[in-house]
Amino acid sequence: MEGDEDVALNQVKVGDLLRVLPGGKTPVDGVVVEGHSSVEESMVTGEPIPVEKSAGGKVTGGTVNGLGSFVMRAERVGNDTMLGQIMGMVAQAQRNRAPIQGVADKVAAIFVPVVLAIALLTFVAWMWLGPEPKLAHAMINAVAVLIVACPCALGLATPMSIMIGVGRGAREGVLVKNAEVLERLEKVTTLVLDKTGTLTEGKPRLMDVLPADGFTSESLLQIAASLEQNSEHPLADAIVEGAIDRGLTLDSVMDFRSVTSGGVAGSVASRIVMVGKPDFLRAEKVMGLEPLEALVTKLQEDGKTTIFVAIDGKPAGILAVADPIKSSSVEAVQSLHALGLKLIMLTGDNRRTADAVAKQLGLDGVEADLQPAGKVAYINKLLYEGERVAMAGDGVNDAPALSAADVGIAMGAGAEVAMESAGVTLVRGDLRGISQAIRLGLATMRNIRQNLFFAFL
């Protein structure tokens, strides 16, 4: 564009004006000074629904811009950005982690000095009481003690079990970064879970179509989706996809217009259609929304976002959009509870949505509206209370918490930094893999102890 100049990221300074193009990533933290768009911030907040941004709105480096374009003023660059701070917390947590000694090392620390002491006593005894040549007899018997007392199985007990355990986990889609993780998995008492992309699908979907009197679900959705196909709003895709999935044919739109932070309007099949917030519809002279608004509370309690539809100046119904819970999450939660684990959800999403998801899944606790540092603080609190903590997540915002926990578990479809911070990666991104990983840790450590026991028989 005229007057614009491409610069390297490391050349951006505080106060610079930067243009963010449609589909591009926000380069640094800052504030919007011109234009408007929707920015997908799930990597930081965990909120799957993109957030509308206009002049005065804060934006975070690394988040993905939608279809609009805006100019922003840089406020934080380099390591001072939110993303830079997250990476710093990851590095700090990894440096502070104390190494855990293997079972065989603990046994050897006691066994080897004892065997050496017995061999030395044998040498002294033969030198004092043995027949001539005393030195030869003493050396032979001392060496014999060392040979007999050293169980060859001791050196194989741990590596063989770990090799088999890690290999079996890989076949099941559970990738273990190192052997210490298996030992930590056995001792986990509390599992901390991210919401978006871990318990839920991480993408908004059309959940409910509630028509007003005089309309059917099919006609309401068909007309609303026809209008929304021209919209850049992040929820429009969910409505359009919902209509297409139901086999509905979309009509062309005339006189389309969009009102920022309000809604969209246009003509569909010679009918005047408006889709958006209640205040937007009222500003367009649509009255009688109260019966529909009475339905909103229950939908919001279930963590759904509501969108109002009016046709020819009359309320036509409500569309409800939400990030649905994964089909495997209920079974996974039941399986993890059966292992005796306490399950707590930490999310950057709002309290209403978080409570709805926690209630549906039967979780033991939930903390909402958390930034990455807040997740780390909560995990450190659990560790201070004596809990052995595993953390499961998939986003950039989860990386510090994954590093802070005793065991970090990353979803295979998540961000690369999350997988780098985790000790376990679930290739299939299925929460049921966590119970498989914990059972794998239990079985591997049990097998190691059995091997060590029989090594001394």
- The predicted-structure confidence for 140-176, as pLDDT tens digits, reads as follows 888 888 777 766 666 666 777 777 777 777 777 777 7
CATH of the domain spanning 205-322: 3.40.1110.10
pLDDT bin (cut points 50, 70, 90) of residue 319 is very high
| Res 380: pLDDT | 93
Q: What is the mean pLDDT of residues 280-303?
A: 86
Amino acid at 205: R
Query: For residue 47, which of 263, 349, 339 has the smallest C-alpha distance?
Result: 349
The H-or-E segment that residue 243 falls in is: helix 236-245
Residue 416 contacts residue 404 (beta carbons within 8 Å): no
Closest CA to 416 of 399, 391, 404, 401: 399
Residue 98, pLDDT score: 36
pTM recorded for the entire structure: 0.66
Catalytic positions, please?
194
How many of the other CB atoms lie within 10 Å of CB of 82?
21
pLDDT value of residue 99 = 41
- Give the pLDDT mean for 318-331: 88
CATH class of this structure's domain 16-80: mainly beta
Q: Indicate whether 305 pLDDT > 70.
A: yes
Of the listed ranges 124-138, 165-179, 207-221, the least confidently predicted one is: 165-179
Q: For the chain, percent helix, then strand, then coil, each to nearest 5? A: 45, 25, 30
**What is the rounded distance in angstroms from the CA atom of residue 344 to the CA atom of residue 391?**
9
Judged against a pLDDT cut of 80, whether residue 416 lies above it is answered with no
Q: Quick one: tokens of 21?
A: 């193009």
Task: For residue range 34-89, list pLDDT tens digits in order.
Answer: 888 888 877 666 566 778 888 888 898 888 888 788 999 999 988 888 777 666 64
DSSP state of 272: E
Q: What angle do CA 336, 305, 205 make, to 5 degrees?
A: 65
Of residues 106 and 447, more confidently modeled:
447
pLDDT given for residue 94 in this prediction: 43
User: Nearest-5° angle of CA 252, CA 256, CA 259?
Assistant: 145
Residue 265 confidence (pLDDT) above 80: yes
**pLDDT for the residue numbered 44:** 64
**Can you tell me which residue has the tokens 């059309």?**
206
Q: Could you read off the pLDDT of 95-131 as tens digits, one per residue?
A: 444 343 455 566 667 777 888 888 899 888 888 887 8
**How far apart are alpha carbons 302 and 357 in whole angstroms?**
8
CATH class belonging to 174-201+326-454: alpha beta
CA distance 20 to 9: 13
